[in-house]
Amino acid sequence: MTLFREMARRRRVRRTRIDLAGLTADQLRDIGLTQREADAEVRRSLFLVTDRTVLPK
């Protein structure tokens, strides 16, 4: 994998985690995730704030 592709992949993953952090409990349920699972995934990103009220949608 080239450096460019790896950087693009990491940006997509980060954006997905930011979006995931902004979902409500109902939205998480719609996609088959619990709050605990979503929070665990968001915490995997080193530089994201894990307080769900602070993250942009």
Q: Which residue has the tokens 């769900």?
A: 52
In the prediction, which pLDDT does 54 show? 46
CA angle 44, 51, 30 (to 5 degrees): 75
pLDDT exceeds cutoff 60 at 29: yes
pLDDT exceeds cutoff 90 at 19: yes
CB 21 within 8 A of CB 44: no
* Confidence band of 45 (pLDDT split at 50, 70, 90): confident
